[in-house]
Each structure stands twice: as structure tokens, then as C-alpha cells.
Amino acid sequence: MGAIRIPVSLTQASQVRGGVGESTPRPDGTLKVTGDFAYASDLWHEDMLWGHTLRSPHAYAEIRSVDVSQALRVPGVYAVLTHADLPAATHYGLEIADQPVLAGDVVRCHGEPVAVVAADHPETARRAAARIAVDYRELTPVTDEASALAPNAPVLHPWSTGAHAAHVPHPNIVHRQPVKRRDVAAARTRADVVVSGDYEIGMQDQAFLGPESGLAVPAADGGVDLYVATQWLHSDLRQLAPVLGLPEDKVRMTLSSVGGAFGGREDLSMQAHACLLALHTAGPSRWSTTGSSRSSAMRTATLPGCTTSTGPAATASSSI
């Protein structure tokens, strides 16, 4: 296997000198200004394969079948993996393991991963993924709290064993956290006006510029070395090792330079897919998403909501 080219001078451009009150240059400042700073998307290995993920075009659908035969016939394709090829844990998650590595019998959101492809060129991987035939049966999506809690609502995660599962009134509720201060009933009687309402907050995303990128390299001891742009290596490791069926000491993670994050890189993105393909093909696997594929893959852009009641008394000096 050829040598890996990892940018080691990212934060070693110069030694910072001086003390409090002095203007000292950032170690990475000159490299960034001149365009020589190496990010995770600049990682390279002379023997590497390029990965690509096929994602669901539907918000909610049953997967009847997945046929990868045409994708495997594309010259330059080395592997195509689906849910049936997963070696160990099939789900992961930062707090609750409810995100499928690759969807099995159903997809529950637009952009859910269904299959991954490894090829000798990124465009070859994309063309091969387009040839994967997935037979979907579209289902009516659950798009708001009312429909999720309806008596006939489908249970979206019937296998969920989250820490809050025993404390919520409906299995579609992930977490319930009432916030009360003092005697609410008494406060209502004292208030001149009570304003109650349900409020939704617009979807948000950190929209950092650096793509979700990384390089996974299989090791001689059966483990894997992953170089990745992330925010939380230890949390990534805790989720990743069970998916690969490896002990944590055989999943070695190195933080590559991060092109922005702001909380958006706390969840796994390409980590599991890159490592699975590297171990399956016994060769390095390189991953780098485009902006559109990242936006369909990430789950940070949620639509939060809350229910509040406010009842000021006429003598109150504050306003709503």
C-alpha cells in the first residue's frame, strides 16, 4: 500500500512567541491567507478509492428491494454495500442510536443513506450509485407533532430503547421536558390576561464552508485509521466502533483541519461509510461531500417548537 499524504504542518507553520499584550501571529494564519492551508478535503492516498452514498429521494417509504448488479458492472467500481452487508450495529446516534448506517426496510427522511459505492474516481462512484435500483413504496410522511401523536400514527422507531422511552406518553416522542416555576394554577388566577400559543422556530443549519471529508485507511492489525474533520473525536469513536464491530482501540481517529463547524460536526456524517468501505476493500477510502449532498444528509436542521402560556398582571412593569 502506498504512502499516505497527511498535512502535518497545519498548525506547525511557526512557533508562537511573545506574551500578554503582544501581537503574535496565528500559527495557521499565513497558510490560510496564501491558500496553502490543507483541510480534510485535501487528504490524499495514492491507492485510495472514492466513496459516494446513494440517498433516499422520499421522506417516508418502504424499501421493497435493492438491486446493485448494474452498479457493480460499471468499470472502476470496487464495492457496493447495502444494509445487508453491515457487519455489526446497524444504527448510531449522538444521544440515541436511531440513525441507520444504511436503511434496511424503510427510509424515514429525505436523504437517508441506502447504499455506498467505492470506485477509482468520484464521478465513477456517482454514476454507479445512479444505477442502483431501489424499489420504494411511498408512505404518508409524518410531518408534525399532531400527526405523530394521532391514535393511528405509525410508530417511527419501534425498536427504540432511548433513555427517555419509559417517560414519554407516546413512542414517537423522543423526549419530554416540562418547565414549571412555582404554582402555575395560582398564577393563572392572578393574571389579567393569559396568552397561550404553540410556536415553531425556523429550521437552521450552521452552513460551514468546509465539506464533510475524511480518509479511512485499513490497518494491518484488522483495525482502521480515520482522518476526519469533526468536533468530537471521542463521541465519534463511541458510535463508530460498534458499527464496525471493532474494539475502540482498533479504531484510531486523527483530527484533520476543520473548515468551520459551529456545532454542525457533532454528528457522524461520512465516518461510518468511509471506514466500512476501507475495511471491505482492504484499501484507503476517501470521502468528500458537496454542499447539496451534505444538506440532505445532515440532521442538524431541525424544526423545534414549544407551547407557552404567559399571564402578566396589570401591576406588572414588564411586557411580553
- Which residues neighbour 233 within 8 Å (Cβ) at sequence distance 6 or greater? 253, 255
Please state the pTM of the whole predicted model.
Answer: 0.79
Q: For 42-64, what is the mean pLDDT?
A: 94
pLDDT digits (tens, 9 = 90+) for 51-60: 999 999 999 9
- The beta-strand segments (E) located in the chain are 4-5, 44-45, 49-55, 61-67, 77-82, 91-92, 99-100, 106-107, 113-119, 133-138, 195-200, 213-218, 224-228, 251-255, 285-288, 305-310
C-alpha–C-alpha distance, residues 224 and 274, integer Å: 10
pLDDT at 293 over 60: no
The lowest-confidence range among 12-21, 57-66, 104-113 is 12-21
pLDDT digits (tens, 9 = 90+) for 73-103: 999 999 999 999 999 999 998 888 889 999 9
Angle between the N-to-C axes of helices 233-244 and 271-281, in degrees from 0 to 180, rounded to the nearest 10:
40
Average pLDDT of every residue of the chain: 83
pLDDT for res 156: 87
Nearest to 287 by CA among 295, 300, 276: 276
pLDDT digits (tens, 9 = 90+) for 141-192: 988 888 888 888 898 888 766 566 666 778 888 777 777 777 878 888 888 8
Q: Is 193 exposed, middle or buried (0-12, 13-18, 19+ CB in 10 A)?
A: exposed
pLDDT for res 269: 85
Strand pairing report for 251-255 and 44-45: unpaired
What secondary structure letter does DSSP report for 32?
H
Q: For 37-52, what is the mean pLDDT?
A: 87
Confidence band for 271, pLDDT divided at 50, 70 and 90: very high
pLDDT digits (tens, 9 = 90+) for 116-144: 999 999 999 999 999 999 999 999 998 88
- 225 or 231, higher pLDDT: 225
Are 235 and 269 contacting, i.e. CB atoms less than 8 angstroms apart? Answer: no
Q: How far is CA 158 from CA 95, 136, 161, 233, 274, in A?
A: 17, 20, 9, 30, 28
C-alpha–C-alpha distance, residues 305 and 200, integer Å: 4
Architecture of domain 44-141+205-297 in CATH? Alpha-Beta Complex (3.90)
